A = this chain, B = another copy of it.
């Protein structure tokens, strides 16, 4: 269990920090150029912040979903490795989005990636729900349904964003932001104690 936490937290920490490698120092000669060189980084800063929020939200998700797990077995480890595979790809699709914010393909690639991330998290949770012996204590049907809704909120929002992106890539991009920050602010309202 602690091994799985260590690997997971390591992969999240590295993916979060590797995002910064896409911010390239501008190559300029004069002071005026320096300011405009930094201004040219604004699209990269937007995608950096979005992806950091994505990683933060999914990390919060794993803290929440693994907290009640009492025992680990191989299929659960494999499902978690699958989720980590999608986490390690975040710096790549972020870099594509930063470079081509006006390409519908880039916005849809990013949304497909986020949707797969959400479905991997859903697969983890479905496995736990089907194997209650792995949990610390039984989950009531009401709690289980609330959790399912919460996990599927992301993929549903991301699919909506992709539809918007077919019309306007920038508007689709904005919907990712809205979905993410709605998720985060909802999470912030929930002040139940997570761990001692």
Contacts and interface: CB of A to CB of B under 8 A. Distances in A.
Nearest to A62: B3
B10 A14 contact: yes
The residue among A16, A49, A78, A190 with the most chain B CB atoms within 10 A of its own CB is A16
A40 to B, nearest CB: 13
B5 A2 contact: yes
A100 B37 CA distance: 12
Interface string A143-155: 0000000000000
Contacts of A17: 11, 14-15, 18, 88, 91
Number of copies: 4
A49 B17 CA distance: 19
Contacts of A49: 85
Indicate the size class of the contact surface on chain A: 35 or more
A59 interface: yes
Interface stretch (A66-74, A115-123, A160-168, A172-180): A66-74
A114 interface: no
Nearest to A89: B20
8 contacts: A1-B195, A7-B13, A10-B13, A17-B18, A17-B88, A70-B196, A73-B193, A74-B190
